[in-house]
Structure 1
Amino acid sequence: MSVRERNSDKEIEVSLEMEQFFPFQLTQLQARVSDSIADIYTGHFALSKHEWRIVAVLGAGQSLSAKDIGSMINLEKMQTSRAIAKMLDKSLLMKDSHKHDKRSSLLKLSPEGIKIHQELAPMILAREQALMSILSSDEQFKLNEMFKKLMSRADELLQDRLP
């Protein structure tokens, strides 16, 4: 992919090689890693990607609103609502009224949801370890630090574009 720009009387060609473009590389990596993990939660537990993310977030034992869950797992309101409804139908979640906001409720894993989390988490962590095993401890630490820096910078850039 290339783009031509006119700068005064000179024509400048800017080439965008997708295979070298960081956002493209990151998307490709994310898709492959997610697909390898999906084999576990879809095959063994019949969970969707969104349901798995909700189990993972609520697995720490806290109660959260649907809005908070959606925000934490970067999911739109409608997708979050649908996943929660399916999980309530499967008895994987329990709903309690919110003490401070009567319009919303707090969600937590049911005993069945906790059981799934307890079985699923070690399998997911083992898959993560299998992936990360090609990196030394120092490389893993540096990668984590780089991700933190990139997340921080991306947040700054997002703030810059807001009115």
Structure 2
Amino acid sequence: MNRPRTASLKLDAFLPYRLSVAANVVSQRVARVYVEQHGLSTQEWRLIAVLGEDGDRTQQDLVKRTRMDKVPVSRAARALEARGLVRRATSERDARSRRLSLTAAGRRIYERVAPAALAAEAEVLAGLDAHERTLLRSLLERVEHAASAALARDP
């Protein structure tokens, strides 16, 4: 009996798999900076990085900006607050919402880790010339935008 031919999945050529593997290994390289030196989880560092770059944000803003689920954001925020690295305060606009901001200690960690994270990124991208780095960033932004648009169309 002849079966219809179906597409064969080849993981090494499957975009979601390649992106995930690349993201994991790059994140592991960069994570050495904040894990070994400051004992931060990836989720904790992401919150510190966003707060360091963007300033005060609500937890909901952090969920949107990091594309992390609410539970890991909340857990990371509580852990950072317990360590004295972020301050959580009730939002003036919405009493159910919490605004997070870096404390002076959190700001110092951001200022130490950010340059080291950028150096780790440069190490990872060293095999690409300037045009390739620009193209890679542009392509990743387009893929992210297309995936976000598809999610919005088909929840």
Amino acid aligned to 1:126: A
Q: How does 1:132-143 map to 2 (within 5 A)?
A: 132-143=125-136
Equivalent of 1:98 in 79, 91, 96: 91
Indicate yes or no: 2:110 matched with 1:117.
yes
Name the aligned partner's letter for residue 115 of structure 1.
R
Partners of 1:69 and 1:13 lie apart in 2 by 41
SS at match of 1:36: helix
Partner of 1:131: 124
The TM-score with structure 2 as length reference comes to 0.93
CA distance in 1, matches of 2:124, 2:78: 33
Q: Name the structure with the higher helix share.
A: 2
Whether the aligned pair in 2 keeps the contact of 1:61 and 1:109 (CA below 8 Å) is no
State how far apart, in whole Å, the 2-side matches of 1:97 and 1:10 are. Answer: 61
| CA-CA distance at 1:99 after TM superposition | 1.7
Partner of 2:143: 150
Would the alpha carbon gap of residues 16 and 69 (structure 1) be closer, same or farther in structure 2, given more than 3 Å must change?
A: same
Deviation (angstroms), 1:42 = 0.6
Deviation at residue 88 of structure 1 after TM alignment? 0.7
Query: Does 1:161 find its partner at 2:154?
Result: yes
CA distance in 1: counterparts of 2:49 and 2:113, whole angstroms: 9
Q: Which has the higher strand share?
A: 1
Question: Are the aligned partners of 1:93 and 1:108 in contact in 2 as well (CA < 8 Å)?
Answer: yes
Q: Equivalents in 2 of 1:156, 1:61: separation in Å?
A: 24
Residue of structure 2 in register with 1:75 after alignment: 68
* Aligned residue-pair number: 154
Rate the CA distance shift 1:160–1:97 in 2: closer, same or farther, 3 A. closer
Runs (5+) with no aligned partner, structure 2: none
CA distance in 1 between counterparts of 2:63 and 2:149 reads: 21
Instruction: Please tell me whether the aligned partners of residues 55 and 117 of structure 1 are also in contact (alpha carbons under 8 angstroms).
Output: yes
| Aligned residue in 1 for 2:26 | 33
Taking only aligned residues, the RMSD between alpha carbons, in angstroms, comes to 1.5
TM-score normalised over the length of structure 1: 0.88
Deviations 1:65-94 (A, max 9, x none): 111112211222121111111111100011
Provide, for residues 35-77 of structure 1, a one-character-per-residue CA deviation record: whole Å limited to 9, x for no partner.
Answer: 1111111100110111111110001251111111122112221
Identity among equivalent positions (%) equals 27
- The whole-number CA distance in structure 2 between the counterparts of 1:133 and 1:68 is 33
If you compute each CA radius of gyration, which structure gives the higher value, 1 or 2? 1
